[in-house]
């Protein structure tokens, strides 16, 4: 038994001695660990590459969406610009004519006295309104003033009365009869408070007071246009005139 124990002990010592003397690169355990380490490294690289791929795909998707949104934004901006252009055009050929006259120098004031007859004596309110309006567009201001006055006398309850009152003020304004124009524009606000011409009439009240050097009244009216009718051509013109007044120290 003692001999057997000795042999077993000796064999164990020899086995241990053999393991200790084996080079690391030949050790099966080391080899296995090296193999596992290599496999783990490859897996980590695959995972890293997959994460980069996912990130790249997400980034590309975000960029694609951003391009789509930018396209939508460009289209909306284009539509807004078109609407603004249409709105400026709708403001009227007459207003462009009046603005050119205002900036291009003085025009001699003319008398508003004229014929006491309607432009179209046998016509209805629409025909006479259009006739007076055409006279205004053609620069025949005394005739237009007379036409609008006779229209308002003959057709005081017409659905076009507020427009006629407004254009009467414009005809007085362009001929630099500012007190008369101021009265006409104020009448629009007083008699036709729901008129679509309210923003323009209020704007021109500011313009008339500016020409009459009533600075505080002008600024008050122009500020009301900006505050009450912010998204309109009238508000834009009011802002421009306020900026001019600021530059002039008014």
pLDDT tens by residue, 218-238: 999 999 999 999 889 999 999
At 56-69, the pLDDT tens digits run 677 766 665 665 56
Q: Is the pTM of this model over 0.75?
A: no
Q: Is the pLDDT of residue 87 over 50?
A: yes
* Sign of the CA dihedral running 122, 123, 129, 135: negative
Non-local CB neighbours of 131 within 8 Å, separated by 6+ positions: 118, 119, 120, 123, 147
User: How high is the mean pLDDT of the chain?
Assistant: 77
Q: How far apart are CA 179 and CA 182, in angstroms?
A: 5
Is domain 90-248 annotated with CATH 1.25.40.10?
Answer: yes
How far apart (Å, rounded) are the C-alpha atoms in residues 101 and 184?
Answer: 19
Map out the domains of the chain as residue ranges.
90-248
With CA atoms as reference, report the closest residue to 133 among 178, 164, 156. 164
């Amino acid at each position: 038994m003692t001999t057997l124990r000795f042999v077993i002990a000796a064999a164990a010592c020899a086995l241990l001695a053999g393991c200790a003397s084996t080079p690391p690169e030949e050790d099966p355990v080391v080899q296995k660990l090296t193999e596992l380490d290599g496999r783990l490294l490859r897996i980590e690289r695959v995972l890293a590459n997959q994460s980069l791929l996912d990130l790249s795909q997400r980034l590309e998707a975000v960029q694609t969406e951003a391009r789509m949104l930018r396209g939508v934004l460009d289209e909306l901006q284009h539509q807004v610009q078109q609407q603004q252009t249409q709105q400026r055009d709708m403001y009227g050929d007459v207003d462009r004519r009046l603005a050119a006259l205002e900036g291009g120098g003085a025009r001699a004031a003319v008398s508003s006295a004229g014929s006491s007859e309607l432009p179209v004596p046998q016509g209805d309110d629409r025909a006479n309104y259009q006739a007076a309006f055409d006279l205004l567009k053609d620069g025949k201001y005394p005739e237009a003033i007379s036409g609008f006055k006779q229209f308002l006398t003959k057709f005081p309850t017409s659905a076009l009365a507020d427009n006629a009152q407004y254009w009467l003020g414009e005809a007085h304004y362009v001929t630099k009869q500012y007190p008369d124009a101021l009265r006409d524009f104020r009448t629009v606000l007083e008699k036709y408070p729901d008129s679509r011409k309210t923003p323009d009439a209020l704007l021109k009240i500011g313009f008339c007071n500016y020409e009459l050097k009533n600075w505080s009244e002008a600024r008050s009216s122009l500020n009301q246009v900006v505050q009450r009718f912010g998204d309109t051509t009238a508000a834009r013109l009011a802002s421009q005139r306020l900026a001019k007044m600021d530059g002039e120290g008014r």
